[in-house]
Amino acid sequence: MGLIEQIRDAGVVGAGGAGFPTDRKLNCKAEVFIVNGIECEPLLRTDRHVMEQNADLIVKTVQEIGAFLEAKRMVIATKEHYEDAVDALQKAAAGTNVELHLSKSFYPAGDEQNLVYCVTGRTVPTGGIPLDVGCVVSNVSTVLNIAEAIKGQPVIEKMVTVGGSVANPVTVSCAIGTPLSKLLEAAGGAVGDCTYIVGGPLMGKMTDDLSQSVTKTTGGLLAIPKGHSLLTKKMQTDRDATLARAVCSQCSMCTQMCPRNAMGLNVQPHKAMRALAWNNHELLGDVNGVFSCCDCGVCTYYACNFGLKPSKAMQQCKASLQKQGVKPVKEVKYDVDGGIENKRIPTERLLHRLDIKRYDVDAPLAGFVEADVVRIPLRMHIGGPDEAVVSQGAHVTKGQLIAKPNGMGANIHASIEGSVSSVTDDYIEIRKG
Ligand code: SF4
Ligand code: SF4
């Protein structure tokens, strides 16, 4: 069986992003293969642990993928201060054709398009993908999942950092479908009355529902005390448009600090704010730049001194344009900003600005979190939900195929052995034993 079929069978999707099916992404030829081990968001620790623990296997797999892509360069990118991971990778890559790219600690260093620019000097056009400039980018956990796929092992486990206001921040592994509450227990529980962020502090989603499951793309669970300013920023309110009208001074600091704008992609959140404020899309000007917003949150969480939410305005504008059928035009509007390096936001400064520096602590590996019941979502990837191929009452073994894509998607496998206790349109629940 070829590499693409092995990846497809194993149900590998992008582990660090929206869950794009990896067999589709890698089914091409590319000049440069970049492995993203940057861990874009602060407070998360999974990438560095994955690299420390599996450096040899990662380098070997990168060579296999690189050979398949016929890549001239294979580059593993990580942050220079992940010293243990860097040591392990340097030893593993010594004497091979795999390069390391060591980045300073800034946000969003792990943004795919930023990474392509930093490694190759090329800018991915608006409406385009890295392959448009000869690159394929995969998260380091995805590469590890590909290594397992080559051995015939499907994706059934995930490594997750549990941090924030918890008794003992940890990084644990667990079966896909494990409830978030189990992970919180492994960290000794929350300290104080908290709301939770699934993912990183900037791009993660808020929830109070810890019965939610770990998916193939979950990277973090952060407990944040209720009332913390970070949560206030994350809340969408129906006053956002009113505030934009009343408070936004059109100073354009959000646009000046936007990392995608600095790459010449004409991303202008201040114009999205005025369009939102006056409910007039014509005020957006050149709409194409809206499609290059990666929702990194720099404009909202760092740039705007008035506490406004230009990134939310951008999301709204993008959704509205998509609803109207507007498609992005592939272009790089301007040259890269000559001052791009000076616009990098040091992670340390971002942590202070978000008032979460106190949570920037080690989250050591703490083993495997067992679950007696897993609820495996049928949608852990871009595309529609999978179709279950097992029924309630069936006995399933660990790693058995339980759902198949219906169009775009990825195979889903049982993450524990047991009996299927429920099959719905949204998930398959399995009980141990
Ligand atoms: S959203 Fe904030 S940073 Fe952007 S233009 Fe308005 S006031 Fe300035
Ligand atoms: S979220 Fe804001 S800073 Fe980030 S790319 Fe979008 S507009 Fe730019």
- pLDDT tens-digit series, residues 111-136: 999 999 999 999 999 999 999 999 99
Would you list the domain boundaries of the chain? 3-150, 157-228+355-371, 240-344, 372-433
> Which atom of ligand 2 is nearest to 297's Cα?
1
C-beta separation of 113 from 2 below 8 A? no
Does 21 contact ligand 1 (Cβ within 6 A)? no
Cα of 304 from ligand 1 centre, angstroms: 5
How high is the mean pLDDT of the chain?
Answer: 95
Residue 243 confidence (pLDDT): 81
> Which atom of ligand 1 is nearest to 251's Cα?
8
Residue range 27-33: average pLDDT?
98
* Amino acid of residue 226: K
Residue 164 confidence (pLDDT): 98
> Which atom of ligand 1 is nearest to 250's Cα?
5
| Ligand 1 atom 8 nearest Cα | 251
Residue range 357-370: average pLDDT?
97
What tens digit of pLDDT does each residue of 322-343 get? 999 999 999 999 999 999 999 9
Does 306 contact ligand 1 (Cβ within 6 A)? yes
Residue 352: C-alpha distances to residues 13, 42, 235, 262, 301 (Å): 33, 11, 20, 23, 11
Q: Where on the phi/psi map is residue 43: left (φ > 0), alpha (ψ -120 to 50), or beta?
A: left
Check pLDDT > 80 for residue 241.
Answer: no
Q: What proportion of the chain, given as a percentage, has pLDDT over 90? A: 90
Q: What proportion of the chain, given as a percentage, has pLDDT over 70? A: 100
Residue 364 confidence (pLDDT): 97
Cα of 251 from ligand 1 centre, angstroms: 5
Q: Which ligand is nearest to the CA of 252?
A: 1
Does 304 contact ligand 1 (Cβ within 6 A)? yes
Does 428 contact ligand 1 (Cβ within 6 A)? no
Options 3.30.1490.190, 2.40.50.140, 3.10.20.600, 1.20.1250.20; which CATH number does 157-228+355-371 get? 3.10.20.600
Q: Which of 18-22, 47-51, 127-131, 349-353 has the lowest mean pLDDT?
A: 18-22
More confident residue, 21 or 281: 21
For 201-231, letters b (16+ CB in 10 Å) and e give: bbbbebeeebebbbbbbbbbbbbbeeebebb
DSSP state of 322: H
Q: What is the pTM of this model?
A: 0.96
**Domain 3-150 class in CATH:** alpha beta
Domain 240-344 has CATH 1.10.1060: yes
Does 269 contact ligand 2 (Cβ within 6 A)? yes
Residue 87: C-alpha distances to residues 46, 90, 307 (Å): 17, 5, 41
* Amino acid of residue 433: G
For residues 207 and 263, what is the distance between their CA atoms, to the nearest angstrom? Answer: 33
**Fold match between 157-228+355-371 and 372-433?**
no
Instruction: Write down the residue that tokens 């997750």 correspond to.
Output: 160
Does 308 contact ligand 1 (Cβ within 6 A)? yes
Cα of 198 from ligand 1 centre, angstroms: 27
- Cα dihedral: 90, 95, 101, 104 (round 10): 30
Residue range 365-377: average pLDDT?
97
Cα of 68 from ligand 2 centre, angstroms: 34
For 386-432, where are the E strands, in sequence order?
A: 387-388, 395-396, 401-404, 412-413, 418-423, 427-432
Residue range 415-420: average pLDDT?
98
DSSP state of 337: P
R_g (Cα) of the chain, nearest Å: 21
Residue range 296-311: average pLDDT?
94
Does 303 contact ligand 1 (Cβ within 6 A)? yes
Cα of 396 from ligand 2 centre, angstroms: 44
C-beta separation of 291 from 312 below 8 A? no
Split at pLDDT 50, 70, 90, the class of 433 is confident
Check pLDDT > 90 for residue 36.
Answer: yes
How many CB atoms are closer than 10 A to CB 340?
16
Split at pLDDT 50, 70, 90, the class of 1 is confident
Cα of 8 from ligand 2 centre, angstroms: 33
Cα of 311 from ligand 2 centre, angstroms: 6
Smallest Cα–Cα separation from 401: which of 12, 13, 14, 9? 9
DSSP state of 214: P
Q: At the topology level of CATH, where does 372-433 sit?
A: OB fold (Dihydrolipoamide Acetyltransferase, E2P) (2.40.50)
Check pLDDT > 80 for residue 240.
Answer: no
Does 298 contact ligand 2 (Cβ within 6 A)? yes
| Ligand 1 atom 2 nearest Cα | 304
Does 294 contact ligand 2 (Cβ within 6 A)? yes
Q: What sign results for the dihedral spanned by CA atoms 236, 127, 408, 113?
A: negative
Check pLDDT > 80 for residue 17.
Answer: no
For residues 232 and 235, what is the distance between their CA atoms, to the nearest angstrom? Answer: 5
Residue 110 confidence (pLDDT): 95
Pocket test for ligand 2, best of 311, 318, 337 (most atoms within 8 A of CB): 311
C-beta separation of 17 from 140 below 8 A? no
Check pLDDT > 90 for residue 16.
Answer: no
Residue 282 confidence (pLDDT): 84
Q: Where on the phi/psi map is residue 378: left (φ > 0), alpha (ψ -120 to 50), or beta?
A: alpha
> Which atom of ligand 2 is nearest to 298's Cα?
3
More confident residue, 328 or 1: 328
Residue range 404-409: average pLDDT?
92
How far the first Cα of the chain sits from its last, in Å, is 33
Q: Which ligand is nearest to the CA of 126?
A: 2
Residue range 172-194: average pLDDT?
98
| Ligand 2 atom 4 nearest Cα | 296
Burial of 366 from C-beta contacts in 10 A (0-12 / 13-18 / 19+): middle
Cα of 16 from ligand 1 centre, angstroms: 30
Does 254 contact ligand 1 (Cβ within 6 A)? yes
Does 253 contact ligand 1 (Cβ within 6 A)? yes
Residue 246 confidence (pLDDT): 83
C-beta separation of 287 from 329 below 8 A? no
Does 124 contact ligand 2 (Cβ within 6 A)? no
For 214-287, where are the E strands, in sequence order?
A: 220-225
How many CB atoms are closer than 10 A to CB 387?
14
